[in-house]
Amino acid sequence: MQAIRSILVVIEPEHSESLALKRAKLIAGVTDAHLHLLVCDRKHEHSALLSLLKTGLQGDGYSVTTEQAWNDSLHKTIIDVQQAEGCGLVIKQHYPDSPLKKALLTPADWKLLRYCPTPVLLVKTSTPWADGVILAAIDVGNSDVEHRALHHSIIDHGFDIASLAKAQLHVISAHPSPMLSAADPTFQLKETIEARYREQCQAFQAEFDVDDAHLHIKEGPADVLIPHTAHALQAAVTIIGTVARTGISGALIGNTAEVVLDALESDVLVLKPQALMDQLEELATTA
């Protein structure tokens, strides 16, 4: 987070208060990152709004540029501008389509999360970050190289956000329930599963300096436990990662992540492994 030099902020003209801009100002106020404000619209002119926002932000000491653009779709426009401006973070507010779809992400949000080659912060609530809880979701049981790199990124971003918001970082990791049919005998008994995860957690805690009070290891499906823990802790931000398994088609976030994202009541920062971001960047530059 500290290394991000430029932030792309998606501005929605029809909404008077931009929570995305509020989050961007908080981050840029600590990191001195440049803010690039983007309105995605092909029909109406928004230069007056962008000029007003730019003047106000510059008056507050922020480095700001603005742009209005449109290229086929919302997510493609955002990614095209992100690439052109070299932004290291995209911030967009999630606006529910209707009361019926209040918790669900829109198709545009999903495509942005799937294909954007940088971290995406999706702002879902107005809950202040200051003095709150930042929840980082990891899979301690997965210790392959790709997951370990992703864990490092998740925890690093978690500590960075907690530092800039003067918040507390908590970590959640779910472990599977016993399965008599499991090939590995370890996963056939509750006690052996817990013992293995506790052992892995001790190594994780030693590496990342996370104490017992801020580590939550629970049995059950991650898509249930992560939103439940975020709600119980009243988390302001939840950080999750996704690992691709099948090349560029693996950019599609899995079912677990989809359920988690839709169910979370907090802001969500979605991170991807560097290899996947490199693939997506290559796709973005050749599309």
User: 170-180: per-residue pLDDT in tens?
Assistant: 999 876 554 44
Long-range contacts of 278-284 (CB under 8 A, 24+ apart): 278/117, 279/117, 279/244, 279/247, 279/248, 279/251, 280/115, 280/116, 280/117, 280/248, 280/251, 281/83, 281/117, 283/115, 283/117, 283/248, 284/79, 284/80, 284/83, 284/115, 284/117
Does residue 255 share a domain with residue 156?
yes
Look at the pTM and tell me if it is higher than 0.95.
Answer: no
Q: What is the CATH number of the domain that holds 95?
A: 3.40.50.12370
In a domain, 84, yes or no: yes
Does residue 114 share a domain with residue 157?
no
Residue 153 in contact with residue 196, Cβ under 8 Å?
no
The mean of the pLDDT values for the chain is 83
User: 220-254: per-residue pLDDT in tens?
Assistant: 788 889 999 999 999 999 999 876 544 434 434 45
Does residue 206 share a domain with residue 92?
no
Q: What is the mean pLDDT of residues 103-122?
A: 85
Residue 163 in contact with residue 2, Cβ under 8 Å?
no
- The pLDDT score that the predictor gives to residue 168 is 95
Q: What are φ and ψ of residue 23, in 5° steps?
A: -65, -40
- The pLDDT score that the predictor gives to residue 223 is 84
User: What is the DSSP-derived secondary structure letter of residue 212?
Assistant: G
In a domain, 242, yes or no: yes
Does residue 104 share a domain with residue 82?
yes
End-of-domain residue from the set 123, 144, 169: 123
**pLDDT band, very low/low/confident/very high, at 95 (cuts 50, 70, 90):** confident
In a domain, 241, yes or no: yes
Does residue 181 share a domain with residue 228?
yes
Task: Provide the number of structural domains found in the chain.
Answer: 2
Does residue 245 share a domain with residue 163?
yes
Does residue 210 share a domain with residue 101?
no
Does residue 142 share a domain with residue 115?
no
Whole domain around residue 102: which residue ranges?
6-123
In a domain, 85, yes or no: yes
Q: Which residues contact 91 (CB under 8 A, 6 or more apart)?
A: 7, 8, 9, 10, 20, 21, 23, 24, 120, 121, 123
45-81: burial string, b at 16+ Cβ within 10 Å, e else: ebeeebeebbeebeeeebebebbbeeeeebbbbbbbb
Q: Rounded to whole angstroms, how far apart are CA atoms 124 and 180? A: 40
